[in-house]
Amino acid sequence: MARELRRLLMAPPQLAAAVDGVLTLSSEHSRYLTRVLRYGPGAHFAVVDGIGHLWEAELLARDQARLLQPLDQPLQRQPAPRPQLVLAASVVKRDFDLVVRMAVELGVDRLVPLLCERTAVLGQLREERWHTIAAEAAEQCERLWMPRIDPPTALKELLSEAQGGSRLWATTRNNLLPSPVSALADYRSGDVWLACGPEGGWSDAEEREAAQAGWIAVQFGSTILRSSTACVAGLSLISSWRSAR
């Protein structure tokens, strides 16, 4: 596109329901375009479907817009990034919304909220909010692929499910461990997983079970990081490694 356009994420079923390219906007999308961005009829914006496609669109009315390219001829196509980056992050009391947002901005392809022995949360787990935050972050950082957000998952379930690829286990107080990038020096294929523990750290039993399941212990330096900081630091290193490949 010759100019930068603000992006709106729409699910594929909503796009498929368009008649002659005319989209019916949800109340949330209408509010964002007309009240937040203050767009009126004739304003142009971009539509992305979260699975690698982008179209330009024109606002027709408060609740309608028209795609300027046929649905099967998007303006941009992008293959899914490889390898896929998976962050398994223990749910933390105050910062998990931030973890979700920053993980999406850093390029995570799948986020698994972990429930560990020392997981501590305030109130109920807010899965719907996590999806909303991920969608907003994907729009803001101009991603064409929407990451997958898993339901809260027990660590034992994760250890039994995650097979193959490279599985990195963030731990502390052992400066002899490799960094994530060093641990990926012999990477061949498959997803790259990074598991980050709760604020109280992994239990001894969890450390043993992860090692027995084939996870590789890694460290991020000599300082002790908050759980949310560790997620961002580790994912940033792995995302940069993927970009450099």
Strand blocks (E) in 98-165: 110-115, 148-149, 153-154
**pTM here?**
0.90
Q: Which helix or strand (DSSP H or E) is residue 13 part of?
A: helix 12-16
pLDDT at 122: 62
85-244: which CATH architecture?
3-Layer(aba) Sandwich (3.40)
pLDDT at 94: 80
Residue 139's identity, in one-letter code, is E
Query: Which tokens go with 99?
Result: 């973890």
Which residue from 27, 29, 36, 35 is spatially nearest to 10, judged by alpha carbons? 29
**What residues have CB less than 8 Å from 225, skipping those under 6 apart?**
172, 233
Q: How far is residue 20's CA from residue 185's CA, in Å, rounded to a whole number?
A: 50
User: For tokens 């997958």, what's the residue?
Assistant: 148
Superfamily of domain 7-77: Hypothetical PUA domain-like; domain 1 (2.40.240.20)
Using one digit for the tens of pLDDT, what is the confidence trace for 145-169? 999 999 999 999 999 888 888 999 9
The residues of the chain that CATH labels 3.40.1280.10 are 85-244
The residues of the chain that CATH labels 2.40.240.20 are 7-77
Residues shown for the chain: 245
Using one digit for the tens of pLDDT, what is the confidence trace for 23-34? 999 999 999 999
1 has a pLDDT exceeding 50: no
